[in-house]
Amino acid sequence: MTKTILITGGGRGIGAATARLAAQQGYAVGVNYRHNAEAARRVVEDIQQAGGRAISIQADVSLESDTKRLFNQVEQSLGSITALVNNAGLLEQQARVDELDAARIQRVFATNVIGSFLCAGEAVRRMSTRYGGQGGSIVNVSSRAAVLGSAGEYVDYAASKGAVDTLTTGLAREVAAERIRVNGVRPGLIETDIHALGGEPGRVARLAAGVPLGRGGTPEEVARAIMWLLSDEAAFVTGAILDVSGGR
């Protein structure tokens, strides 16, 4: 059976690492991006040059119309979606809560929360036996920030990831009888460019000493956890949230 995976925010960081690993494991890969077409194109080219199948699709997952189009395009090009990685995420400049305005909070929650809900809903409508589907698996990418709070940096981002954790728990129970497993990963300090977006490119180096394993993680290490949760090896795992954080 053809395995098709959609990875939102798949052009960079954890998403890109997951796309490449999924292709190595035999998936046809839909690489979603919002702005950076060039980064997504490079991921697709890497997969194709290695003999895999992949396409890139522009879509803003916070918009319902874009999300529907995204899923339709992936299925038309690659076949029925059997796996979704809800990875697209937005983080803004470090700031205290008393420095935030409504517009920023809405931007963060639109992508991180509404986007995750919309994509999960589209996936369920395609995978669920309730709608004639054959089942599937969803992994939501959260963050250890959801537990730690990110005080003085981005509590809004942390709160949005707390909502993603709740989505994981609730949706897993909602669709378990419909042959869909839903799990999450909570990356800790990972060496990606998200820290530069928050205004501190060297954040991992600054905080690495506080990680029990003594270093930041790599996108590939998170990707391996995601792909395990999607795999048949995790067939009895649903509603779980796996910390990939070096112990922090």
pTM for this model (two decimals): 0.96
Sequence letter at residue 248: R
Q: How high is the pLDDT of residue 196?
A: 63
8 Å CB contact between 217 and 192 = no
Q: Between the CA atoms of 69, 139, 9 and 41, what dihedral angle is there, to the nearest 10 degrees? A: -80
| pLDDT number for residue 99 | 98
Whole-number pLDDT of residue 146: 98
Q: Are 223 and 14 in contact, with CB atoms under 8 Å apart?
A: yes
Predicted pLDDT of residue 91? 94
Q: For residue 88, is it left (φ>0), alpha (ψ between -120 and 50) or beta?
A: beta
Residue in 27, 33, 154, 157 annotated catalytic: 157
Residues ≥6 apart with Cβ < 8 Å to 97: 155, 156
33 in catalytic set: no
Among 183, 247, 172, 240, which residue's Cα sits nearest to residue 215? 247
The reported pLDDT for the residue numbered 195 is 62
CATH 3.40.1170.60 fits 3-244, yes or no: no
Could you list the pLDDT tens digit for every one of the 248 residues in the chain? 689 999 999 999 999 999 999 999 999 999 999 999 999 999 999 999 999 999 999 999 999 999 999 999 999 999 999 999 999 999 999 999 999 999 999 999 999 999 999 999 999 999 999 999 999 999 999 999 999 999 999 999 999 999 999 999 999 999 999 999 999 999 999 998 776 666 778 888 888 888 999 999 999 999 999 999 999 999 999 999 999 999 99
Cα 86 → chain centroid: 3
